[in-house]
Amino acid sequence: MSWVSLVGKGLFSGAIIVTASEIAKRSATFGALVVSLPLASIMAMTILYQDTRDTAQVADFAEAIVWLMIPSLMIFLVTPWMLRRDYAFEVSMTAGIVCTIVLYAVGAWAAQSIGQVS
Q: Is 110 left (phi over 0), alpha (psi -120 to 50) or beta?
A: alpha
The structural domain count of the chain equals: 2
pLDDT in tens, 7-62: 888 898 888 889 989 999 999 998 888 888 888 889 889 989 999 999 999 999 99
Same domain, 53 and 31: no
In this structure, the answer to whether residues 89 and 50 fall within a common structural domain is yes
Same domain for 71 and 29, yes or no, is: no
Cα 116 from Cα 32, distance rounded (Å): 29
63 and 82 share one domain: yes
Query: How many Cβ atoms are within 10 Å of 91's Cβ, its own excluded?
Result: 12
56-111 confidence digits (pLDDT tens): 999 999 988 887 888 889 999 999 999 999 999 999 999 999 999 999 888 778 77
- State pTM to two decimals: 0.67
Q: DSSP string of 70-82?
A: HHHTHHHHHHHHH
